[in-house]
Structure 1
Amino acid sequence: MHTTLFPLPDPTGTSEFAMSFTSTPRGARLARLFVSHCLDSWGHPYDSDVNETLTLISAELCANAVRHGRVPGRDFLVRLTTEAGDVVLLEVSDTRGERRPAVFQPADPDAESGRGLLLVTALAHDWGVTDRRAGPGKTVWASVSTPRATAG
């Protein structure tokens, strides 16, 4: 008997996966792996463009949540949703509402970091920052169109 850890799309094509992770580098790695596994269970194989793109975006957003949004003792939340198979939305929420990413802040050419959101901008259909739904903090979200959205 095969059981899946992740919800399969319902008949309307809507799916959702949400889980909290510790605000540590290990938590960020686990979140990235769970996003990839969830997408695979939803019909976006590990080597598909959608899975690879969202796995890379989740790695960046989760690393940022750990590095810039960490509050000791508080987890970050990852939510992955898809509606009718057209767009997959990734949301990463942390409890540091005052530390919001700058949308168009170029990195110093000699800096070893600071280019992750440029990758998100290049890979995502759209992305942004909103207030967290429940509790203090912020949610950084990114959406990626699936091949079904462009077909037809």
Structure 2
Amino acid sequence: MKPTSPPIQLSSALPTSTHEFDMCFTSTPRGARLARRLVSHRLHEWGHPYNTTANDTATLIAAELTANAVRHGHVPGRDFHLRLTVNPDGTTIRIEVTDTRTERTPTLSTPTPDSESGRGLLLVAALATRWGVTPREAAPGKTVWAQLVVSGRVQTVPGVAN
């Protein structure tokens, strides 16, 4: 007799642990782009589907923080680190980007109307519930973080339009 697999059971229960994603990326525009795409993908897997406000907003925040790490926090030969967490009920998304540059602490400033840059942290401040900068613990550098409080995870069933 051929062995059979146990039936697949779908559960609608929310996970009881925090979702966490950590990864180092090259301090290049390509590394920042990959980080942004992985944030969107992980959030989709964790119950915040593509093209939802939570996914789009968190992805935009991640894009700004990683672009800043590449542009202003770059030290030749050093990568930046991204950490993404979502609490168990899916209502708080936290994005942390760590680079190795200590002398360039980000601050909010209003660019002139004709400036071609300088609006990234203004976007982060406008979109995030909270944000800040903390010194890196074990080595030189800093972590720029942002938290986004959302209404919660959207439950989806694969193959069913919501």
Deviation at 1:97, TM superposition (A): 1.2
1:62-73, aligned counterparts within 5 Å?
62-73=66-77
User: C-alpha root-mean-square deviation of aligned residues, in Å?
Assistant: 1.4
Deviation at 1:13, TM superposition (A): 3.5
Q: Cα deviations across residues 104-137 of structure 1 (Å, max 9, x unaligned)?
A: x111221111011111111101101001233210
Amino acid at match of 1:133: E
TM-score by length of 2: 0.82
Relative to its length, the structure with more helix (as a share) is: 1
1:86 alignment partner, one of 69, 91, 98: 91
Alpha-carbon distance between aligned partners in 1 of 2:80 and 2:47, rounded to the nearest angstrom: 26
Confirm or deny: 8 A CA contact 1:13 1:82 kept in the other structure. no
Amino acid at match of 1:46: Y
1:42-81, aligned counterparts within 5 Å?
42-81=46-85
The 4+ residue runs of structure 1 with deviation greater than 4 A are: none
Is 2:36 the counterpart of 1:32?
yes
2:131 alignment partner, one of 127, 130, 142: 127
Confirm or deny: 8 A CA contact 1:16 1:80 kept in the other structure. yes
Amino acid at match of 1:107: P
1:95-114, aligned counterparts within 5 Å?
95-103=100-108, 105-114=109-118
Identical aligned pairs, as a percentage?
A: 63
Alpha-carbon distance between aligned partners in 1 of 2:43 and 2:70, rounded to the nearest angstrom: 22
Which consecutive unaligned segments of at least 5 residues does structure 1 have?
Answer: 1-9
Alpha-carbon distance between aligned partners in 1 of 2:144 and 2:92, rounded to the nearest angstrom: 16
Alpha-carbon distance between aligned partners in 1 of 2:23 and 2:59, rounded to the nearest angstrom: 15
- In structure 2, the residue corresponding to 1:148 is in which secondary structure? coil
TM-score by length of 1: 0.87
